[in-house]
């Protein structure tokens, strides 16, 4: 510590802030001050990031609405959100951003890039989180299955459909869960595994009826009738009439649905 008379003399002649110097010599106080400043900076940065994340998520949701309503958007529209949420987002943010990027690539006819984006989206998933978005994850797998079907990678499609259906059930989206099951039956039919397809279709068609999805039961019962038409030995009635009576009660009055 400086001698009091010396400090007073220098302060009088120069105005030097010796109080600050005295504080600086107290290392403990200085360390505490630095800690306060650092905490303040972190807090301010966090507030900015939270505000920005909220804005970016709102904009990403707007793009997702375009996706759900079959309106166009581009890779360039989505890329900034992928970059941002990879650094600042939650698992749900990253999942949605990569999924929408895949959808944009798909609409541009770039299937390999779309598939890579869907795989990246799956890697973002945190299925044990309490607020996890199972619906989007189901959509990712359903889109992957569509790409596999177009490449006739039917085993891959069946696995993707299984996961899409599983996560749709978790999201309480019964209609979509059943839809992916039906589509997997189509893959089994292409593999000439008609027994597996028949079992899936019978189960799904019954669930459609039990839950009031009459039009879906009607629509997809045609797959089962096709199996029986091509494989009469599998049909107790020999002509698919049993399927028509059980799952398609409105066929008599609405022939256009055929």
Residue-wise pLDDT tens digits, 185-242? 999 999 999 999 999 999 999 999 999 999 999 999 999 999 999 888 886 654 444 5
**φ and ψ of 21, to 5 deg:** -65, -40
Spans in the chain with pLDDT lower than 50: 1-4, 6-7, 9-14, 16, 18, 20-21, 23-24, 42, 238-241, 244-245, 247, 249-258
Cβ atoms of 224 and 243 within 8 Å: the answer is yes
Hey, what's the torsion of the CAs at 219, 170, 102, 64, to 10 degrees? 90
CA distance 116 to 119: 5
Q: Give the pLDDT score at 31.
A: 52
C-alpha span between 206 and 229 (Å, rounded)? 20
pLDDT given for residue 205 in this prediction: 95
pTM: 0.74
Separation of alpha carbons 194 and 158, rounded Å: 14
> In whole angstroms, what is the distance from residue 10 CA to residue 137 CA?
72
| Structure confidence at residue 1 (pLDDT) | 45
CA 103 – CA 41 distance, rounded (Å): 38
Closest-CA residue to 98 (of 175, 90, 46): 90
């Amino acid at each position: 510590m400086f001698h009091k008379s010396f400090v007073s003399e220098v302060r009088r002649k120069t105005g030097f802030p010796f109080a600050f110097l005295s504080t600086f010599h107290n290392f403990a106080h200085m360390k505490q001050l630095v800690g306060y400043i650092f905490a303040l900076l972190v807090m301010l940065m966090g507030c900015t990031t939270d505000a920005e994340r909220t804005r970016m998520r709102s904009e990403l949701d707007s793009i997702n609405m375009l996706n759900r309503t079959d309106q166009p958007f581009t890779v360039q529209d989505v890329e900034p959100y992928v970059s941002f949420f990879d650094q600042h987002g939650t698992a749900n943010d990253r999942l949605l951003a990569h999924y929408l990027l895949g959808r944009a690539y798909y609409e541009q006819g770039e299937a390999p890039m779309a598939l890579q984006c869907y795989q990246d989206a799956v890697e973002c998933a945190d299925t044990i989180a309490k607020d996890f978005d199972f619906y989007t994850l189901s959509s990712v797998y359903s889109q992957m299955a569509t790409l596999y079907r177009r490449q006739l990678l039917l085993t891959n499609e069946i696995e993707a459909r299984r996961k899409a259906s599983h996560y749709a059930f978790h999201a309480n989206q019964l209609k979509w869960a059943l839809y992916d099951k039906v589509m997997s039956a189509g893959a089994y039919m292409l593999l000439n595994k008609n027994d597996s397809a028949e079992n899936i279709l019978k189960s799904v068609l019954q669930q459609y009826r039990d839950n009031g999805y009459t039009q879906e039961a009607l629509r997809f019962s045609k797959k089962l009738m096709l199996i029986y038409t091509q494989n009469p030995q599998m049909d107790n009635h020999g002509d698919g009439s049993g399927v028509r009576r059980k799952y398609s009660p409105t066929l008599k009055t609405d022939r256009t649905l055929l």
